[in-house]
Amino acid sequence: MTWMIWLEQALLLIGLCIVCLSLLRYWRRTGDWKAIAFFWQKRMVLERNEFLINRVGLSLMILGVVIRFVYHLLFVGG
């Protein structure tokens, strides 16, 4: 079942790249790097497209984590 390991890693990496893409789009639009650096302070106001791109990336990363849990529960022992 090594394909599950590859799928998990691919989803995490692709998701991370997509999230970074949404943050890059925000930075190019606003030039506000502090909002990205301090994302927990709610300074960042994403446009609709940036928000959707960000959520797709986060969803892919969450799916990668779910695949990791399923793989370890089914095949590694749990």
Could you tell me the pTM of the whole model?
0.85
pLDDT-above-70 percentage for the chain? 97
Note whether 5 and 71 are within 8 A (CB). Answer: yes
Average pLDDT for 58-71? 95
Look at residues 22, 3, 5 and name the one whose alpha carbon lies nearest to residue 64: 5
What is the spatial distance between Cα 36 and Cα 30, in angstroms, rounded to a whole number? 11
pLDDT score of 1: 65
Domain spans of the chain, in order of start: 2-76
How far are the Cα atoms of 2, 9, 10, 70, 71 from residue 75, in angstroms, in the given order?
Answer: 10, 17, 19, 8, 6
What is the spatial distance between Cα 73 and Cα 17, in angstroms, rounded to a whole number? 27
